[in-house]
Structure 1
């Protein structure tokens, strides 16, 4: 079976995919569930959640802020707007009030001098907790007291779930994933259909539901519903390497709207089948698709003990980087000057900096770094589900202008990203601002630059037959 070339128009362009997905996102607000509990129950649930999730670390962080303002220099939303309410330290004011009144050592005093928390306080906090915090971790990096604001924001999101105050877009997708196990309709049947489409139209084999495999890979809703290019690229690379791999219909979805909304039970509910599937096939490696929030949802999941798992988890860019460093990826040179955008979750909060750059080096790329790069990289502004939220449009658009200026300063012709959320937000910013830069997915870029020879052809045959 012949392999399609890089120019074979198997699927829509990402620009077309974005336009279609934007239409679906616009309908989410109408699908969001309405509150089912009384205001008293919602308030109590929010407060009880914060109390339950506040341990020693959280207590120290809430007690430690010295209001130095360093975090404001690191926050893209504050820098883009100059509005004081978006300062990271202010996003914790409500959490701090609950902590002080309910469980702090001086709670007796705080109950005398502060007002009881109301449900309206949580309603007002929604913009700070969802719209203006991508949990990128840049503020934590510069905080002299080591306060992990992103983690505190996540606890606040858990409280917002209990208060039934999740933004409608996230609420709709949370309920879809909770009740039907799908995201935008991405189901095991959709996976099988996409696998069949890739096999028929691109001539690329994808080993679906193998009983045993050394490597298990994940996909995402963006691939299965709108754009199969990511899965196609992954298959090309795995077959090129001659790896014994599979994708499983009982554990394939990278997206986790439990993590994004703050629903801890859904977070775990989505992770468990993936772990079980990887164990079932005896995988040595689990490769997480280009889905930034899937990285902490799986690899840094507090509900998992990674030391007890019989396989290694790594992000797609990490996997590709290791293969490049080992000399296993045979790649054609990449033309033109490029820059690379580090996803916050895999870069600053995960440390995966060298691997994607090793891939670009293997393509002899003319890589010019952004003025602020690696751990200092500015967030694109759409992380933690913000690229979905209509109410966050102004903040998202204004903060993205930081990326535009940074990329323009490099003189690069194109930007390489390795996160679907980043790519969607970049595409939105590119279209809105009539920006002339090209966008590339790292995994798709690698697939398009593979050098096929007799050695890799034999490897592909071994991988397909395994």
Structure 2
């Protein structure tokens, strides 16, 4: 199904038929509650679950992990960088503590002195793995801030992710993540978002807004991903993306067999599923001859695609770019005509695309193109504090206390700027900010960057700067 070319009237589509994001948040909160009842129960005996966890850690421990596990000098520098520790003051949430169980497995199973450690340390039990759940799922968003201050260069976030892999093997994934992991693995949907839902949304946007979305083109220079947030609750993100891409006049498409940005293999720690979910996206991009793959506003999708183990074998024939990266480059090239953005704003750098990915200047180029009155957060760019909901934490009921306390750090920082609104470029961050706004009756607006860009387009014919690639 190839959508015909259609000139977009940006003034005519300003008012959306879709619900507001606040309404979307309320609907998602209800669906998240249902996930806890859908999670599969453990199926293996305790001894087997423990053995599988240990085997997983042994298999995933290479030279880097061994050095990190051997190098910690317990200086405590990482505690000052962790939002969960600072928000609660509880020692168990210090990043260095999150490595303790992994270190014990390493010492007993792999280290040069394993014969000694087997004499002086006890074997890992299922209760140890159960206790580790809170530390590696609820109390670590894998934001990477602790690695910045570690004098030994330890990447605690990577070690935590290996622990998540071990807990997958031990059938100890939190129920919300477990339910979504199984849904995406067996049904290839997220919150029920399917290829049919994508087609329906494309038709709705065309019918009600007059905006063309080229679905399943045989060839295209740019392939764009969407997300479940758009397909099951709120089409505004997809609508905004289409308006901007059409404004740019690029040759683009969305593929109904490879459209979902979310990857619950990565979030849960299921390495095999992580790769399995990336494969059809890469295949589709190669099939259509894409030069650029644009990842939707979904923070964890960035590392899921950019740094997937499956992709380490060689170069791909296309570039992967986060939505804010791609649009920021277009703004710098003069390809986006944007009206001024009214009011004072601040910008929240998503951990995965910012500190872990280095995409800092592109979103700011977009805000500059809108002549925004941008006031930076007290700690910004690589020093930005996580909102507290990353790595799937925004989904976990039992992490509510930790998430709420960590979010107050962000609230105070945003309040310091005097901004009327905080702009985000990650759907997970947006959901967590919205949850915090509602819970604390906060008087700040939370805005999507791509939706702001779409709402501030000047309705002219598309113009491309000479020599600038799509």
1:44 — aligned with what? 51
1:358 — aligned with what? 365
For 2:38 and 2:214, locate their aligned partners in 1 and report how far apart those are by CA, in whole Å.
35
Deviation at 1:300, TM superposition (A): 1.6
Aligned: 1:8 with 2:36: no
Deviation at 1:8, TM superposition (A): 1.3
2:200 — aligned with what? 193
What is the RMSD computed on CA atoms of the aligned residues?
1.0
Contact 1:4 1:203 (C-alpha < 8 Å) held by counterparts: no
Deviations 1:330-378 (A, max 9, x none): 0000000000000000000000000000000000000000000000000
2:109 — aligned with what? 102
Equivalent of 1:300, from 298, 307, 312?
A: 307
Equivalent of 2:316, from 292, 309, 328?
A: 309
Contact 2:222 2:252 (C-alpha < 8 Å) held by counterparts: yes
Aligned: 1:60 with 2:67: yes
TM-score by length of 2: 0.96
Equivalent of 2:147, from 140, 144, 153?
A: 140
Deviation at 1:301, TM superposition (A): 1.5
Equivalent of 1:440, from 438, 447, 456?
A: 447
Equivalent of 2:404, from 394, 397, 401?
A: 397
For 1:17 and 1:398, locate their aligned partners in 2 and report how far apart those are by CA, in whole Å.
23
Mark the runs of 5 or more structure 2 residues left unpaired by the alignment: 1-5, 465-470
Instruction: Trace 1:169-208 onto structure 2 (pairs within 5 A).
Output: 169-208=176-215
| SS at 1:286 equivalent | strand
For 2:18 and 2:53, locate their aligned partners in 1 and report how far apart those are by CA, in whole Å.
44
2:31 — aligned with what? 24
2:388 — aligned with what? 381
| SS at 1:23 equivalent | helix
For 2:313 and 2:20, locate their aligned partners in 1 and report how far apart those are by CA, in whole Å.
37
2:3 — aligned with what? none
For 2:250 and 2:172, locate their aligned partners in 1 and report how far apart those are by CA, in whole Å.
45
Instruction: Trace 1:16-415 onto structure 2 (pairs within 5 A).
Output: 16-305=23-312, 307-415=314-422
| SS at 2:262 equivalent | coil
Mark the runs of 5 or more structure 1 residues left unpaired by the alignment: 460-466
Deviation at 1:50, TM superposition (A): 0.2
| SS at 1:254 equivalent | coil
| SS at 2:310 equivalent | coil
Number of residue-to-residue matches in the alignment = 457
| SS at 2:320 equivalent | strand
Contact 1:382 1:422 (C-alpha < 8 Å) held by counterparts: yes
Deviation at 1:9, TM superposition (A): 2.7
For 1:131 and 1:238, locate their aligned partners in 2 and report how far apart those are by CA, in whole Å.
37
2:467 — aligned with what? none
